[in-house]
Amino acid sequence: MAMLRSVFLAAAGSSRLERLVESAPVSRGVVRRFVAGSGAEDALRTSRALADDGLAVSLDHLGEDTETPEQAQAVRDEYLMLLSRLREAGLTPAAEVSVKLSALGQKFDPAVAVEHARAVCAAAAQAGTTVTLDAEDHTTTDSTLEILADLRKDHPTTGAVLQAYLRRTEADCRELAASGSRVRLCKGAYAEPESVAFQSALDVDKSYVRCLNVLMSGDGYPMVATHDPRLIAIAEDRARWFDRSSDEFEFQMLYGVRPDEQARLAADGHTVRVYVPYGRQWYGYLMRRLAERPANVAFFSRALTSR
């Protein structure tokens, strides 16, 4: 399993393989399970359907590691357009957006990324909703958390994402578990070296629980992002222990993953937010989903061979 994970995570960074997979006609069916569609129209339709089922959403316009100022500007403009359409459609505040700073230019000019992120936060505020900054590989963590602190001066509800596989994360949770902060806790989806990240599933899970304890006992708003039944049960237990009602924390899961569990938690009275990616640049996202679970790989191979 660890071997498969590293193969798919290495594939996520290969542009040659990206061209090959994207041009395979069967890919579309596979993508459709995890991605809402290619345009804002698809994102809106999916958000409406999920809202009708009592689920909140966070929309992610797919794309990362933007290389030019023009691309970064186009990503910003897509989010501005999306936010105004969500507002017009009456889908806010149940729909918010998730943003990757690398898509806004963080790697070639952090100042440009900050400027664009600020514009997206302002548009979200105008639409009556929030922004969460996705976490990417560990080389970006310091920069992302600095940018978050800066954005929160004007937009205090801007959400952070912390990855339990990073050794630093329990300390980051302590920093961020303050009143008014929104923190999404996930396991982490990138290939990371042992020097910075726990490598075994057990160590990652143990770190997740320690982080969960910090967030649930703190004063912020924890966003528990996992499909793991044991961690979900522990989160429910901690929420009871720390007397958190359904508007004082939420569960989050990915579009297409464990929809029955999403419905069960919502029916139990929990706030459940589905992370919904849309757009044409689905390759890196899909490879990370395949890395997570052998059953996803089996699903992908069946689609490749069943034509």
- Identify which of residues 84 and 297 has a Cβ nearer to ligand FAD in the complex: 297
DSSP string of 272-306?
EEEEEEESS--HHHHHHHHHH-HHHHHHHHHHHH-
Separation of alpha carbons 291 and 12, rounded Å = 9
Contact between 226 and ligand FAD per CB under 6 A: yes
Taking a C-beta distance cutoff of 8 angstroms, is the pair 123, 83 a contact?
yes
Annotated catalytic residue 182:
no
* Number of residues counted as binding ligand FAD (CB under 6 A): 23
- Identify which of residues 96 and 292 has a Cβ nearer to ligand FAD in the complex: 292
Shortest Cβ distance from residue 189 to ligand FAD (Å)?
Answer: 4
Taking a C-beta distance cutoff of 8 angstroms, is the pair 86, 96 a contact?
no
Annotated catalytic residue 244:
no
* 189 in a labelled binding site: yes
Separation of alpha carbons 90 and 77, rounded Å = 20
Separation of alpha carbons 162 and 255, rounded Å = 20
Given 5, 118, 152, 184, which residue is catalytic? 184
- Identify which of residues 23 and 295 has a Cβ nearer to ligand FAD in the complex: 295
Note the maximum CA span of the chain.
54
Given 5, 118, 134, 273, which residue is catalytic? 134
Position among 37, 63, 159, 188 found at the interface with ligand FAD (CB under 6 A) = 188
Position among 253, 265, 276, 290 found at the interface with ligand FAD (CB under 6 A) = 253
Residues 6+ apart with CB under 8 A from 288: 8, 9, 12, 189, 190
Contact between 27 and ligand FAD per CB under 6 A: no
Contact between 292 and ligand FAD per CB under 6 A: yes
Q: Which of 58, 74, 77 is nearest to 66 (CA)?
A: 74
Residues that bind ligand FAD (CB under 6 A): 134-135, 161, 163, 184, 186-190, 225-229, 252-254, 257-258, 275, 292-293
Annotated binding site for substrate: 100, 288-289
- Write out the binding residues: 100, 163, 187-189, 226-227, 288-289
